[in-house]
Amino acid sequence: MQNNLTNTMNDFFTQRPAVTASGFALEVGCCRYTINLIRNGKIGVSDEMLERMIAIMNKYGYEVKNG
């Protein structure tokens, strides 16, 4: 799942260049450094944080694929 999350986050930011890691982190309720750690596959996230992240990605029109 962690590798999938890393790929999803990197794809999201590639497809949505106007969304910054700082802005995304602010909406999620964490710091930019945490987003960068997730994008580099260094850490995972709680189920609650994952739900918030998916909701925000959906808000920007990005469809999160399961699996």
pLDDT tens, position by position, 26-39: 999 999 999 999 99
Domains belonging to the chain, first-starting first, are 2-59 (1.10.260)
Q: How confident is the model at residue 3 (pLDDT cuts 50, 70, 90)?
A: confident
Half-sphere CA count of 48, side-chain side, radius 13 A: 2
Encoding tokens for residue 43? 């850490």
CA distance 13 to 45: 18
Prediction pTM value: 0.88
